[in-house]
């Protein structure tokens, strides 16, 4: 039985670097602000008398997953496409 040394796979030479923390913060804000704004308008008719903490809790139950799983990834892809286009 012969044993071969494990091979390491090198990352591609032109692998994209992740965006800076500042770009990620802007992208996250661009996702959250419109979702919160729309969410506030959506729950306003029936949540008018609610405690503000309960209103914020109900809003974030929906906004955070939508932003994290749907909106932010799409914005990150769009940002990556812009960066790749700018490099050409």
Give 10-residue mean pLDDT values along the chain (88 residues). Answer: 67 74 97 97 95 96 97 96 90
- Structural domain includes residue 15: no
- Count up the domains in the chain and report the number: 1
Confidence at residue 7, expressed as pLDDT on a 0 to 100 scale: 72
- Structural domain includes residue 16: no
Distance between CA 86 and CA 59 in Å, rounded? Answer: 37
- Structural domain includes residue 48: yes
Token pair, residue 85, equals 């286009």
- Structural domain includes residue 7: no
- Structural domain includes residue 27: yes
- Structural domain includes residue 4: no
pTM: 0.76
């Amino acid at each position: 039985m012969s044993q071969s040394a494990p091979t390491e796979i090198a990352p591609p030479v032109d692998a994209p670097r992740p965006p800076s923390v500042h770009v990620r913060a802007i992208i996250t804000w661009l996702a959250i602000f419109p979702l919160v704004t729309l969410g506030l308008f959506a729950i306003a008719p029936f949540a008018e008398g609610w405690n503000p903490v309960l209103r914020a809790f109900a809003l974030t139950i929906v906004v955070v997953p939508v932003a994290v799983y749907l909106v932010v990834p799409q914005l990150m892809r769009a940002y990556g496409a812009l960066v790749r286009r700018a490099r050409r």
